[in-house]
Structure 1
């Protein structure tokens, strides 16, 4: 039966339709016409055998490469210790875990770092560069000082902030950074700038901030202290950096164009950095959609405002006047665009960082009355309020400095900072770094590491910063990198402490602050940290 069926199928009278598939130099149709059916079948079988051999050869090569890859991976595994990290999957990496924890990223990372034997973790997720996050002080020192040259900001970082900060000092590397650093370092170290800062603080605090708080106390209205402090900081930094006055504290119901545009641009840049897949914001930028469209529009407004201020300043400036930074930069003869980018960087650093630190410390004082009373005792023992505060008096206030340090340990104005490896490297804890990897040191998590701060790490204890002689303890900046460390250490650290101490001393000795809500506020890490929903309080004048 089987043989009959075969014969019937291959009867010459049966019609076939063949496409011309080439086997060697003969097509199937040509083979049928030139040779017998038997020869055709034999030829086909030979070619199938030949193809089978080729397939086997490719399979062998594939297995050889897989084996080589696995061998190489095993060697790396034996040579380098495995890196702890969240659950990860092929292609997606830890994207699922990242998405699940997106509303508590800081505490999620902190827990992972605490569980890691080296306080270092690896985060790999689809659409983002391979990221190493560390809370290990040895790694931080290595990145920020020992091998500083291998850990620049890098292109991925400058892409995120480049549209806003341009070529400002916080967003550049190499020679351009070095030149701006030298210039800024010189200006920040002058006594004339220090005197100008204190004079500005006296004016803004006494003529605007204190009257505003007195009015709030009389009216009994709820005040968003975070917003007040941000406006105060913007008025102050604009006067110091630009020599101009936006009058943000004059009317809390009105938001000046520069302030509104600055806030919107900052938030949009922060969203870029927090995007689970970087391609999303890059696509939106290319198509000019959503938050990227807003960013573009508001950056343009910020640039227009600053450019207008620069032009007006150039019309009035002489070699003899101008205590503000803008005047100093213009007198030095720098290009307008470079000056603008530097000034925008100063505005960002000087506004949100100090207001964030002050907001969290004021909240902490409402929960720790004994600590608040110690702060007031120190303030009144140095200056009882019968005259304006002076720079030397502020330097004497060690306990205020300890309280600020402790507050920023728990609630740092900048939760993390990232670099990008220029070359392959190995961190002191043995973590292997590949060229192009994002390497992040995590200030928020470092402030909560038992290995660094002990079992009471979650408690607010300013005394941990005071030595046995009542002075301020010296703590390694690599354990406490709130102001960065190494060659890129914050130039405005002294200015920031001067401003924060001035506000604390002026407010605490005159007013009681009572939060409207008893719940613990939520820490939101944008470009600089914010308190979600603001810090709503009622103000009461102190009775001696």
Structure 2
């Protein structure tokens, strides 16, 4: 009987696969007639893998186009072997997931297993009681005035000692800079100082390849490829065999975690009064387990490293293309301060904050976020969710919903966020309509820190320099792994302002 089964299985596959392929090719040929909507056609076994692969280099935009073409801003994508994923840009669904039914939407086993090697059990990869504990501990640290002052000091020092001199040199020598790379280096230095009390010196004038930054980048690239895999069992097989990208990932993650643990060991030897970075705060708070602290700190580096630089990169491209907005920002900066702005003055830069918020609406640093259903459920728009189903809300698509933002949604218009009486005041949006910083119990702890850092950079750079794209007429290509980037970088010339 076993021998018969071994021969009948290939026979079955040879019998069933050719007709399926003929069916698929026929449907693909006639898809423009039979499927006038943007919903992708799904086939037995294969799901929508062919159209998924066709759009793999513009995955975020493609999903957004489908979502915004549906009446309820929600659709189900069928992947190979019966795997399904729901995508939504419906604010009521987002509120349902992130707040009113928060208990039913976790990171989930698939998410945690995929990212476990890199993030461990850190706060961004945790659920349940583990997440609650880390959130409580982290929230206490983030809400201290001393941390805010420390962040302000770190950002100012990196700005005045490194970023501004590099821009001055580039302006004087007419050097082309990859401004995306410069901003990534800037934020990497900042977050390492804030999280570890460690300076990787990634933004020195020589633009060095700092070992920790390079290894961290490579590990993040590989874990992102794993996370976005359409057929997950392939990476699992590679990991089991310890070959290819999975072997490289194992080596890189080990280096990142060993580096972090070495800093933790050194930090334990220091006087607790000497430092106010997050690592020191956790250690003096009695949280001395190496793995626990390593997981948390790596999570914070991931959260603070590319998100802020991504937001700033798109912001500088947008204001160059809207000089009237740039002029308003310059006017606000000059009215706020006659030298480098202090925290309270930056806090009052409402037009700048509106411009940053509008930039992140169009080009969110994190274009989608994924949860997993703990139990069966029905979303407010009527979508049925089965236990274990992954569901992703899509901030990139949510910033493009005409019913929310109006017919001019494609325009960069900071006025959406402002009201004026005697002076401008910032008017925030419902966080479930604009979940760039998430919302509900898992809302980003570093939101205020991020705005502070971005406004300090804008005030320091825009006041003195004009950032001019080398390819002025071309819109950069938005790409994403965990965070958004400009494909190929952001090549610019720096011009020093005469009236600065």
TM-score normalised by L of structure 1? 0.83
CA distance in 2, matches of 1:260, 1:127: 36
Q: Runs of 5+ in structure 2 lacking a partner?
A: 1-36
Kept in 2: contact 1:128–1:278 (CA 8 A) = no
User: Mean Cα displacement is larger for which, 207-216 or 104-113?
Assistant: 104-113
Q: CA RMSD in A?
A: 1.3
Q: In the comparison of the two structures, how many residue pairs are matched?
A: 459
Gap change, CA 1:431 and 1:498, over 3 Å in 2: same
CA distance in 2, matches of 1:252, 1:90: 55
CA distance in 2, matches of 1:159, 1:452: 36
Corresponding residue of 2:343? 391
Kept in 2: contact 1:84–1:120 (CA 8 A) = no
Describe how 1:414-425 pairs up with structure 2 within 5 A: 414-425=366-377
Three-state SS of the structure 2 residue aligned to 1:250 is coil
1:537 and 2:489 are equivalent in the alignment: no
Kept in 1: contact 2:166–2:205 (CA 8 A) = no
Match of 1:527 among 470, 482, 488: 482
Corresponding residue of 2:48? 94
Describe how 1:35-184 pairs up with structure 2 within 5 A: 85-127=39-81, 129-184=83-138
Three-state SS of the structure 2 residue aligned to 1:496 is helix
1:321 and 2:302 are equivalent in the alignment: no
Corresponding residue of 1:441? 393
Describe how 1:359-374 pairs up with structure 2 within 5 A: 359-374=313-328
CA distance in 1, matches of 2:271, 2:111: 35
Q: Higher Cα Rg: structure 1 or 2?
A: 1
Spell out, residue by residue over 1:124-162, the C-alpha distance to the aligned partner (whole angstroms, 9 max, x if none).
111573111000000000000000000000011112211
The alpha-carbon deviation at position 384 of structure 1 amounts to 2.2
Corresponding residue of 1:80? none
User: Mean Cα displacement is larger for which, 402-411 or 445-454?
Assistant: 445-454
1:331 and 2:284 are equivalent in the alignment: yes
CA distance in 1, matches of 2:357, 2:296: 27
Q: Runs of 5+ in structure 1 lacking a partner?
A: 1-82
Three-state SS of the structure 2 residue aligned to 1:176 is helix
Runs of 4+ in 1 over 6 A off after TM superposition: none
Three-state SS of the structure 1 residue aligned to 2:106 is coil
Three-state SS of the structure 2 residue aligned to 1:351 is helix
The alpha-carbon deviation at position 252 of structure 1 amounts to 4.1
Kept in 1: contact 2:47–2:81 (CA 8 A) = no
Three-state SS of the structure 2 residue aligned to 1:221 is coil
Kept in 2: contact 1:269–1:527 (CA 8 A) = no
CA distance in 1, matches of 2:108, 2:232: 15
Three-state SS of the structure 1 residue aligned to 2:163 is helix
Kept in 1: contact 2:418–2:425 (CA 8 A) = yes
1:343 and 2:317 are equivalent in the alignment: no
Kept in 2: contact 1:285–1:293 (CA 8 A) = yes
1:428 and 2:383 are equivalent in the alignment: no
Three-state SS of the structure 2 residue aligned to 1:483 is coil
TM-score normalised by L of structure 2? 0.90
CA distance in 2, matches of 1:141, 1:356: 25
Corresponding residue of 1:38? none
CA distance in 1, matches of 2:323, 2:241: 53
CA distance in 1, matches of 2:262, 2:486: 33
The alpha-carbon deviation at position 452 of structure 1 amounts to 1.5
1:413 and 2:368 are equivalent in the alignment: no
Match of 1:224 among 167, 173, 178: 178
Kept in 2: contact 1:242–1:325 (CA 8 A) = yes
CA distance in 2, matches of 1:244, 1:474: 34
Corresponding residue of 2:427? 473
Kept in 2: contact 1:127–1:279 (CA 8 A) = no
CA distance in 1, matches of 2:207, 2:81: 41
Corresponding residue of 1:292? 246
CA distance in 1, matches of 2:83, 2:437: 26
CA distance in 2, matches of 1:295, 1:451: 43
The alpha-carbon deviation at position 225 of structure 1 amounts to 0.6
Kept in 2: contact 1:317–1:327 (CA 8 A) = no
The alpha-carbon deviation at position 193 of structure 1 amounts to 0.3
Kept in 1: contact 2:38–2:65 (CA 8 A) = no
Gap change, CA 1:296 and 1:471, over 3 Å in 2: same
Match of 1:451 among 393, 403, 414: 403
Three-state SS of the structure 1 residue aligned to 2:466 is strand
Corresponding residue of 1:78? none
Kept in 2: contact 1:150–1:423 (CA 8 A) = yes
The alpha-carbon deviation at position 273 of structure 1 amounts to 2.0
Kept in 2: contact 1:223–1:537 (CA 8 A) = yes
Corresponding residue of 2:16? none
Kept in 2: contact 1:238–1:244 (CA 8 A) = yes
CA distance in 1, matches of 2:281, 2:253: 24
Corresponding residue of 2:28? none
CA distance in 2, matches of 1:199, 1:435: 47
CA distance in 2, matches of 1:325, 1:531: 30
1:505 and 2:459 are equivalent in the alignment: yes
Corresponding residue of 1:376? 330
Three-state SS of the structure 2 residue aligned to 1:491 is coil
1:214 and 2:140 are equivalent in the alignment: no
Kept in 2: contact 1:523–1:532 (CA 8 A) = yes
Corresponding residue of 1:60? none
